[in-house]
Structure 1
Amino acid sequence: MPDAFVIIFAILLLAVLLTYIVPAGEFQREEVDGRNIVIEGTYERIENDPTTLLSIFTSIQQGLVDSAPIIFMVLIIGGAVGVIDHTGAINSGVNALIGRAKNQKYVLVAAFIMIFAVMDFVGISGNAIIAFIPIGIILARALKLDPIIGVAMVYLGQYVGVATGTFDPVITGLAQSIAELPLFSGWHLRLTAFFILLVITMTYILLYVKRISKDPSKSIIKFSETDGTDQPKVEEFGPFTGRHKLVLLTSLLFMAFFIYGVFQFEWSTNELAGIFIMMSIAAAIVGRLRMNEYVQVFIKGAQGIVYGALVIGLARAVVIVLENGKVLDTIVNAAFIPMAELPLFLAAIAMFIFNLLFNLIITSGTGQAAIVMPFMVPLADMLDITRQTAVLAFKLGDGTTNIIAPTSGILMAVLAVGKIPYSKWFKFVLPLMLLWTVVGIAMVGIAVLTGYQ
């Protein structure tokens, strides 16, 4: 498989080609609660503005600029985690946890998946999931597994919650607002989908754990390939001291403070980065690191994920090319016209499939909702499909391909922190994504047959 940069640059060139082939067009938009929502039925053709040779490369620069909040947040998280890790608190703490659990690796992995699934069941973690990846990696290392497991049990756990959005006030809330539905209405079918995806995901990951535990050679990628070190011995972690406990307690308090700020003050990327800088300084003081030592460790931690941070900007460049070429609205308009001619059942499935594919371009849940929901609502009304079914088709489609989309800045950030090449992740997660797709089709089909309200 080609490197992630090669894959995404190839997608970028495909996007450039579309600006020459697809007619330019746009819809009128109106601002609702600070978001630009498409007005259905206002599409009109405009003059084509294909991407120039220079624009291909300036879009990469612009992608880096636009993604700067996430890129720098990733670098800061890398530095902060490097500082906390340098104190020995995380490794010793995870080792103590494993000892208390009597080395029950299956229980610990399943518990981690459940924790992060429930967090996004109510829309808590969001972009902050990047911050938890190092903990997953360290747990996987201590359990003598591989980096794939470290990322999977955190990120895939989260996306079980994202894909169903049972009580997510942001993405589900926006979609239901556009569809003029009560907030969180129809939760019962989304809850059913949540448990089905959770069971499938847990089973898939635990079967992989069983396979590599029996035969480590079947591991897709080993720790020795990501950071040049083999599995450390338990003795190397050292005892879990009071100082270690204080470092971890301090870190947890900062994370709790951030989660509080998300709900009370709508904090986002910048605040998370600031919290992690404060956390790293506090951890350095508690861990008795000298000032120069703190700086050196922080920089080393940030350096380790520069590769992935740059990939985030390149992924953003794809969207910039399509937006500047004015072809996104044309794609949406062209997709929804033939849907109106399909039978009721097939039209609902087509809504799901469209969102599944469109999410490879617009990976932001709120961004996708603002573009496609204004079309799905009148289309659902015309076909006599309930609006709740349209929301379900959007939500499942939005969440499913986010676990594999190379254009997703968050996925690329997560893989950067975990030091996992995209090609290795693709090989691991593709079968699971196909299973999620089958579940999505089944759930939308059930919604149509039952008149889901």
Structure 2
Amino acid sequence: MTPQTVNGTRAARVPHTLVLLFGMMVVAWLMTWLLPQGSFDTVQNEAGRSLVVAGTYAPVDDRVQLSPLALFTAIPRAMADAAPIIFFILIVGGAVGTLRASGAIDAGLGRALHLLAGHPGWLIAGGVTLFATASAALGTSAEYIPLVAILAALAVSLQFDRMTAVGIVLAGYGAGYGVAFLNPFTVLAAHEVAELQPGSGMWYRLLLFIPFVGIGIHHVWRYARRVQDDPARSLVAGLPANIEPVTETLALNGRHRACLLATLGTILLLIWGIGWRGWYLNELTATFFGLAVVIIAIGRLGASAGAQAFVQGAAELVGTALLIGFARGISLLLEDGQVLHTIVHGLSIPLQMVGEHLAAVGMLLVQTLLNLFIPSGSGQAYATMPIMAPVADLVGIQRQVAVLAFQFGDGFSNIVVPTNPVLMGILGAAAIPYDRWLRFVLPLLAKWLVAAAAALMVAVSIGYH
């Protein structure tokens, strides 16, 4: 990864995520030589999911030794194994690409922000909710970067500052990913790995969406009011800004409205299909491809230009697809070397000692720390859920709780970890130094994590599944 620069200061210098994941593959390969090899007995439940049986871990009789060549053959095998979710993500990327090419995203968000501009409280509350909803439903993130300058100009005109503008965007982004109800890159990917129905358990995530977004709104609003009362208390007071005061956006026309309505209809269709028809990845992939075709038609992109937009949108997620493959390679090596269950056994022992409720909180802390090294939500799902899902079986909590701990840990810390290119891009667009951003956001992250721990304990208590 190229060092990210904000106001001329290097905020982070870390290897590319693909390098980190291959390094983790090397560590996994070494573990197959160093750790005891063993396995649990497994049974199938009524849903056909394989569950590990507590108390059945035992060493294997025939030790497997993986050659260095296994490091490289694991990659194409892992890509093939993760093919359904990889193709799904590429198709989603293509659909979002056509929506972006139609101008509907920029025009819709820009129009919404301008409608809220005359009402400071509604700008913050509506802006955070808007970004959170888009992230929770479609997994949008980088699409917000071009809107930062517009929002910063609106915020300054209301006697706020550009930190408030960035807070609106990133509080929405973090809350949306943290309590996503239908994010294809995190929730659906984690469900696939954990052998759960994609999108299942949505009712609880929808309930959590309101209070977590509310926490983000309250945090940004308190800061904004403080700056209004005393501009000297701004965290960016005295710092030069290199942003252009953009105040005009693409006009929202009838075609844009039709595209946005088609997208909303698709989301509702997905919720219906998942909740009442038992749709799986094939149906979900087909639905997003159908959305792309509709957008091309009603957005009047033209067949060739629409296809080009679709290909470009999919191409932007090729890196994500590779991360998924490499992440799957980690667990594949651990499985081949017969040490995956050894690691699960080792992790489950301390978690079983603290009880189900604290075990869920422990999973949250682990996922939060891992997001520093694997900022890709899909990659983190494929790297960690093969371990966390069976750990949940042994500890006595539902796998749905383990997925919730994953999305909390991944989503909320997205707005802190300097390895996240979306975060650094947004800070760069608003000329916000990373250290100043931390002073603003760390209290918000602490509030979210405390609330997330409470939500996980409730999930354990009610048997959330």
Q: TM-score range by the shorter chain?
A: 0.5 to 0.7
Paired residues for 1:383-394 under 5 Å: none
Paired residues for 1:94-109 under 5 Å: 94-102=109-117, 104=120, 105-109=123-127
Residues 29 and 278 of structure 1: is their aligned pair in 2 closer, same or farther, counting only changes over 3 Å? same
1:324 Cα deviation from its structure 2 partner? 1.8
CA contact (8 A) 1:82 1:297 kept: yes
Amino acid at match of 2:394: F
Residues 273 and 208 of structure 1: is their aligned pair in 2 closer, same or farther, counting only changes over 3 Å? farther
Which 5+ residue runs of structure 1 have no aligned equivalent? 120-124, 163-167, 178-182, 223-229, 378-386
* Partners of 1:54 and 1:405 in 2: CA distance: 35
Residues 205 and 394 of structure 1: is their aligned pair in 2 closer, same or farther, counting only changes over 3 Å? farther
1:191 Cα deviation from its structure 2 partner? 11
* Partners of 1:216 and 1:67 in 2: CA distance: 50
Which 5+ residue runs of structure 2 have no aligned equivalent? 1-13, 153-161, 182-186, 228-232, 371-378, 429-433
1:94 Cα deviation from its structure 2 partner? 1.8
Normalised by the length of structure 1, the TM-score is 0.66
1:280 Cα deviation from its structure 2 partner? 2.0
Amino acid at match of 1:100: L
> 1:277-330: CA deviations, max 9, x gaps?
222222222222222222222223333332233222222211212222221211
Aligned to 1:3: 16
Residues 215 and 206 of structure 1: is their aligned pair in 2 closer, same or farther, counting only changes over 3 Å? farther
Residues 208 and 394 of structure 1: is their aligned pair in 2 closer, same or farther, counting only changes over 3 Å? farther
1:26 Cα deviation from its structure 2 partner? 0.6
1:95 Cα deviation from its structure 2 partner? 1.8
Aligned to 1:53: 68
Is the counterpart of residue 112 in structure 1 residue 124 in structure 2?
no
Residues 233 and 441 of structure 1: is their aligned pair in 2 closer, same or farther, counting only changes over 3 Å? closer
Residues 213 and 260 of structure 1: is their aligned pair in 2 closer, same or farther, counting only changes over 3 Å? farther
Aligned to 2:81: 66
Residues 21 and 437 of structure 1: is their aligned pair in 2 closer, same or farther, counting only changes over 3 Å? farther
Q: 1:327 aligns with which of 330, 339, 360?
A: 339
Is the counterpart of residue 357 in structure 1 residue 349 in structure 2?
no
CA contact (8 A) 1:136 1:153 kept: no
Aligned to 1:40: 54
Is the counterpart of residue 240 in structure 1 residue 249 in structure 2?
no
1:55 Cα deviation from its structure 2 partner? 1.1
Higher helix share: 1
Q: How many residues align?
A: 390
Q: 2:390 aligns with which of 361, 371, 377?
A: 371
Stretch deviating more after TM superposition (357-366 or 149-158): 357-366
SS at match of 1:37: strand
Stretch deviating more after TM superposition (316-325 or 348-357): 348-357
Normalised by the length of structure 2, the TM-score is 0.65
* Partners of 2:302 and 2:96 in 1: CA distance: 17
Is the counterpart of residue 13 in structure 1 residue 26 in structure 2?
yes
CA contact (8 A) 1:109 1:206 kept: no
Is the counterpart of residue 403 in structure 1 residue 411 in structure 2?
yes
* Partners of 2:304 and 2:149 in 1: CA distance: 29
* Partners of 2:462 and 2:344 in 1: CA distance: 25
SS at match of 2:335: helix
* Partners of 1:157 and 1:241 in 2: CA distance: 27
SS at match of 2:381: coil
Residues 281 and 199 of structure 1: is their aligned pair in 2 closer, same or farther, counting only changes over 3 Å? closer
> 1:323-364: CA deviations, max 9, x gaps?
222212112223344566x5x68x964664256438959837
Is the counterpart of residue 153 in structure 1 residue 172 in structure 2?
yes
Is the counterpart of residue 23 in structure 1 residue 36 in structure 2?
yes
Amino acid at match of 1:83: T
Aligned to 2:313: 301
* Partners of 2:78 and 2:166 in 1: CA distance: 28
What is the aligned-residue RMSD (CA, Å)?
5.0
